[in-house]
Amino acid sequence: MSTHVTISLDAMGGDHGPSIVVPGAAIALERRPDTRFVIYGDEKLVVPLIDQHPRLKEVTTFHHTDVSVKMDDKPSQALRAGRYKSSMWKSIEATKTGAADVTVSAGNTGALMAMSKFCLKSMARIERPAIAAIWPTVRGESVVLDVGATIGADAAHLFDLAIMGAAMARIVFDIDRPTVGLLNVGVEEIKGVEAVKEAGRMLREAGLPNLDYRGFVEGDDLGKGTVDVVVTEGFTGNIALKTAEGTAKQIAEYLRAAMGRSILSKLGYLLAKDAFAALKEKMDPRKVNGGVFLGLDGVVIKSHGGTDAVGFASAVELGYEMARYRLLAKVREMIDACPAPAAVAASPAEAS
């Protein structure tokens, strides 16, 4: 890789489009000055915003596009209408051709995944991509996947998710052998659906060099940070993600209401103001904004569509980290070091 990281941006994606994407890129550039940008979008809307940020303008190449993908477009509809000409497609294509190292978009998740799969294709041996999220915990952070790319999973897919999640954790947490757990309804070996139990057996017996499998974890382990990587299928993962986001907002509302209930509570808030500020900072979802599309032959980051410029900057920085520290190379390295799921799918008794 060159001395800088080039990031392609879909300026028209998200609930707020360029008004969030451009200032978000400017914030990320302040923190990662060796970043370069290739931005795609409507010239009339995007260029005036870029002009407001001289430093960003210096390191940005802009391309006009007439088409943008709407947030409520069906993936198939977006693929038909936006292939080859939309800001979303062009930003992904830049990563495919090598014009950029990573793509970041706040656009329609289904459309972004469909276009990414069509344009970039899947990595060798990976049948279905996943979305991996950084999850705040009491111990720090964990990687959780899949949080919404694919509904349902067999044991082989869960096995591959564990490998990809561990590769990402090696970058994010700078550890050689991340701990991995399979999300289940209990920690006992006899509990859970057959696919999860079989995946657990496969991971135990594979003896993977860069992955420390710790067995099953439960829902409350997500917040505890029991393991570095939590593996589940997309339906369950997405519900867990939305539940956590909703719970954080619920707690914030409870605290806000409680602090204004009486003169004493208001006084208590003033005395504990620094503590509440620290809590707010810890619970700020913008700090961990961005899901990584894993399993594709290219790096794509999905930002939350409703985030602000600070949140979008976090997604850009996540993309920077994934490109700078060679996510694709680490995933390939771990895949090459691991037996294919089919090779460990049969138990010794079945093999005989």
**Cα separation of 102 and 91, whole Å?**
9
Do residues 130 and 294 lie in contact, with contact meaning Cβ atoms separated by under 8 Å?
Answer: yes
**Cα separation of 77 and 16, whole Å?**
21
Helices (H) and strands (E) in the chain — how many of each?
16, 11
* Domain extent listing, the chain: 1-121+296-326+335-352
Residue 132, SS3 per DSSP = strand
DSSP conformation class of 296: B
pLDDT at 191: 83
pLDDT at 351: 37
Quick: pLDDT tens for 207-224.
Answer: 888 899 999 999 999 989
3-class SS string, 46-60? HHHHHHCCHHHHHCE
pLDDT at 184: 93
Statement: 1-121+296-326+335-352 belongs to CATH 3.40.50.10950: yes
pLDDT < 50: residue spans in the chain: 1, 347-352
**Cα separation of 31 and 223, whole Å?**
28
CA 298-140-193 angle, 5° bins: 70
Sign of CA dihedral 35, 175, 335, 222: negative
Do residues 296 and 92 lie in contact, with contact meaning Cβ atoms separated by under 8 Å?
Answer: no
**Cα separation of 288 and 52, whole Å?**
27
pTM (two decimals):
0.86
Do residues 347 and 201 lie in contact, with contact meaning Cβ atoms separated by under 8 Å?
Answer: yes
**Cα separation of 269 and 285, whole Å?**
22
